[in-house]
Structure 1
Amino acid sequence: MTIAYEVSGDGPDVLMLHSTICDRRMWEPQVPALTEAGFRVTRADLRGFGESPLPGTPWNDADDVAELFGDGPVALVGSSGGGYVALELAARFPERISGLVLLCGGFAGWPKSPERLAYAAREDALIAAGDLDGAVELNIETWCGPDASPEAKDAVRAMQRRVFELQPPGDPEPEQIEIDWDVATITAPAVLVSGGHDLPDFRQIAEHLAGALPRARHVPLDWAGHFPNLERPAVINSLLIEILQNL
């Protein structure tokens, strides 16, 4: 099965990978600006999100995504869980990746902060009680920063609803194929963005990766929550264009 994706514009390739609370629609504020700046933008729905249903057999997200760009080079922009997929791609296919921009990127195995554990416990309790509306609103409260407009919150609300439709709470966890990789093999320059209103885990991950990756820098945004691209689109669009033009 080919995952759902769409391509806009023409020029150097940029591949955008969504958060695991959202789907490829989270990048709608970025696509016009990036295409106007001269980039060819691909955005995809990972399996279990948006228009990509879960398969009946195990899969690997990075393998799915790697089929969308040939020999490269491609710049990867990843949000949260999509940032982790971007890291795996950059580690496994370093010759094909020209750069990384991770917006509040995740990192598998990173120890969860007390704040993140408390959020997970609240979400589990709401789901166990059958209160999916409450679980959706908890995600809005947790992940959307103070600058998120009502429209941005509605967009996240709709995407989180879609996640629950495709991955019904209570069903067995979908099984992915785990492939060993190491950040030490990443050669692409990286920019690691974190938000001052986000859970502390993601600032810590950004700080760690900024010290572990070559030519990496951490860009903390004191105003941002977990989705800076939805909270202040114009600011993030300018930042992305500047970074991508200088790769």
Structure 2
Amino acid sequence: MSTNYLDRGAGRRLAYDVTGDGPLVVAVHGMGDLRSVYRFTVPALVDAGYRVATFDLRGHGDSSDGFDAYDDVAAAADALALIDHLGGGPAALVGNSLGAGAAVYAAAERPDTVAALALLGPVVRDPKLSAAARLSISLLLRKPWGPGAWAGYYKRYYPGNPPADLAAHQARIKESLRRGDHLASFRATAGTSHAPAEQRLPRVTAPALVVMGDKDPDWPDAVAEARWVAEAVRGELVLVPGAGHYPMAERPDLVNPALVTFLGKAFAGA
């Protein structure tokens, strides 16, 4: 796939790719990651008859630095802009981690545009972190060790069944963080609040699917968090045994069929 670019003004742009034909699905990755985290998801959705777009968040991968915001709200605006650029909705949003918060925000703000939400390893409210944990994260993302430290730390989010190409994906993340001001952009992203997404959970009307690994290290009780999110969006829940924060990459054999089935029902009812 060739890389395309979406102009976001003032010389800043977002990198995206799109493949397939059919109803549009836009996938949003989380902070410190790349659109290629969906490398096992996209082929399954294309084979199921969808047109799938993935994009790099601001200051990540092939996208530009220099934006004035890097939060859920900004990512939601970018996802909606990409939907509009690709012909408009209704479209489905797939979001992982911060990308799930962005998907929630977008669905609440533009219900006519978002036909369905699939929230994978969602972060739609602020985790309760100690001051020591926040300091550790801040120190982790400093030069010169930041890119390598994060790429190494990233592996802990795959506790059960890491994909065979995880080392190659980590290397791509490390290389990305060494470009331009990407490390500073990542720090800005990591320092944002998910409160805007949490506040809009009651306004979500689109059908929703929540997929959570039961070993997701972002939460002291991942199963309880998954149930809370599913109840908040009145959605279906799929728990992935042994998986961490990236269930779609750890267990695509379980996540892809659930996602295809959900999208089929959601688009049929749209």
Superposition TM-score tier, normalisation by shorter sequence:
0.7 to 0.9
Farther off after superposition, 198-207 or 33-42:
198-207
> What displacement does 1:173 show?
3.0
| Alignment TM-score, normalising by the size of structure 1 | 0.84
> What displacement does 1:152 show?
2.2
- The whole-number CA distance in structure 1 between the counterparts of 2:16 and 2:175 is 19
> What displacement does 1:162 show?
1.7
What is the letter of the counterpart of residue 82 of structure 2? L
- The whole-number CA distance in structure 1 between the counterparts of 2:113 and 2:259 is 19
Does the alignment pair 1:225 with 2:236?
no
In structure 1, the gaps of 5 or more residues are: none
> What displacement does 1:158 show?
2.1
Distance 1:112-1:153 versus aligned 2 partners, 3 A rule: farther
- The whole-number CA distance in structure 2 between the counterparts of 1:147 and 1:186 is 32
Matched residue SS, 1:76: strand
- The whole-number CA distance in structure 2 between the counterparts of 1:137 and 1:9 is 33
> What displacement does 1:131 show?
3.1
What is the letter of the counterpart of residue 190 of structure 1? A
Matched residue SS, 1:15: strand
Number of the residue aligned with 2:205: 187
Q: 1:62 aligns with which of 70, 73, 76?
A: 76
Number of the residue aligned with 1:136: 151
Does the alignment pair 1:101 with 2:121?
no
- The whole-number CA distance in structure 2 between the counterparts of 1:121 and 1:203 is 27
Q: 1:90 aligns with which of 88, 107, 115?
A: 107
| Alignment TM-score, normalising by the size of structure 2 | 0.78
Number of the residue aligned with 1:198: 216
Does the alignment pair 1:19 with 2:30?
yes
- The whole-number CA distance in structure 2 between the counterparts of 1:231 and 1:183 is 27
> What displacement does 1:179 show?
6.8
What is the letter of the counterpart of residue 94 of structure 1? P
Deviations 1:104-128 (A, max 9, x none): 11124x24256xx766544444445
- The whole-number CA distance in structure 1 between the counterparts of 2:40 and 2:202 is 33
Does the alignment pair 1:168 with 2:183?
yes
Number of the residue aligned with 1:212: 232
Root-mean-square deviation (CA, aligned residues, Å) is 3.0
- The whole-number CA distance in structure 2 between the counterparts of 1:171 and 1:96 is 28
- Percent identity over the alignment is 28
Conservation of the 8 A alpha-carbon contact between 1:35 and 1:41: yes
Conservation of the 8 A alpha-carbon contact between 2:18 and 2:52: yes
In structure 2, the gaps of 5 or more residues are: 1-7
Q: How many residues align?
A: 242
Conservation of the 8 A alpha-carbon contact between 2:95 and 2:120: yes
